[in-house]
Chains A and B, each alone.
Chain A
């Protein structure tokens, strides 16, 4: 377990069902631009690591919104970037 402001669980530290969840997340079809350069699961997934059963539910919802229309990719990126900047999220 790694120390953030709250603990999170990196891929290297994960075992059991959480590791299996991370492996399933790595198998998800993802555009190359969204694949982290470190080659492991994205940090936003590991940030949910205290609750392994939450992960597939959150990212299933993401797939329905970030992987489908009617808004085009550019529009979706605009919405996501605007939301992040307004929330002052640096991730």
Chain B
């Protein structure tokens, strides 16, 4: 997995592990590319809809932890025996969704009420305030993330707001190329005086919106 995580989806010993690995891969990279065929194959591998929902929400959530850890470059907590390959900035970004998904999902997060409530509280906290970033910027970021991931749910199926080029670039890196988070991704905004608190806020808004949109998109895509 360290050298080639995608190989787990192809070569793991059991269909169930292969299915979980494939689902984590697609939720992380291109949740909009999931389909009813994936759903049927994963059900055939022994995964129930409640397990698929758990895997989708967990992968989307863990992607947030990845983004914050990379955005800050916080030191490791543990000694590492097998060091993973360093992040390769030249890796192409994940592909953006070609269109917004609308349709009947196979499941909703309401089937995990504790997760739904916690995520809703988190999202409201991030979205419903006016500093460091103004509220309008938060909405613009969330809508741009939704567009990048193909989130056509009613809440986000609105026109993408105008957003300045530098902020949009940071939102795109956060959403589609988190391994590029770091000084180079912040340079343009820092050059015009954006504070560290506002930079962190922008990453948090984009990452939080990404968690919600990845879950929404993956569930909708599995049903089509």
In the complex, which of the residues A6, A36, A81, A87 contacts B78, with contact meaning CB atoms closer than 8 Å? A36
Q: Which residues of A contact B74 (CB under 8 A)?
A: 4, 8, 43-44, 46-47, 91
Among the stretches B17-25, B36-44, B145-153, the one at the interface with A is B17-25
Q: Which residues of A contact B2 (CB under 8 A)?
A: 85
B79 on the A face (CB < 8 A)? yes
Q: Which residues of A contact B75 (CB under 8 A)?
A: 43
A26 on the B face (CB < 8 A)? no
Check B61–A48 contact: CB distance below 8 A: no
Check A4–B73 contact: CB distance below 8 A: yes
Check A64–B122 contact: CB distance below 8 A: no
Check B181–A85 contact: CB distance below 8 A: no
Which A51-78 residues have C-beta < 8 A from chain B? 51, 53-54, 57-58, 60-66, 68-71, 75-76, 78
Q: In the complex, which range does the number of interface residues on chain B fall in? A: 35 or more
Main secondary structure of the interface of B (DSSP, over half): helix
What per-residue 1/0 map shows which CB atoms of B41-52 lie under 8 Å from chain A? 000000010110
B143 on the A face (CB < 8 A)? no
- Tell me, in angstroms, the Cα distance from A24 to B73 when the chains sit together: 23
Indicate whether A44 sits within 8 Å of B69 (C-beta atoms), given known contacts A84-B62, A87-B28.
yes
Q: Which residues of A contact B27 (CB under 8 A)?
A: 83
- A-side interface residues, number (CB < 8 Å): 47
Check A58–B122 contact: CB distance below 8 A: yes
Query: Smallest Cβ distance from B171 to chain A, in angstroms?
Result: 16
A13 on the B face (CB < 8 A)? no
Which A13-46 residues have C-beta < 8 A from chain B? 36-38, 42-44, 46
B81 on the A face (CB < 8 A)? no
A sample of 12 more A-B contacts (CB under 8 A), given A54-B204, A78-B21, is A6-B71, A6-B72, A6-B200, A50-B197, A58-B64, A78-B20, A79-B23, A83-B27, A89-B65, A89-B69, A89-B178, A91-B69
26 A-B contacts (beta carbon < 8 Å): A4-B72, A5-B73, A5-B186, A6-B72, A6-B73, A6-B200, A43-B75, A43-B76, A50-B197, A54-B122, A54-B204, A60-B121, A64-B114, A71-B51, A71-B55, A76-B58, A78-B17, A78-B20, A80-B62, A82-B1, A82-B25, A83-B63, A86-B24, A88-B85, A89-B67, A91-B66
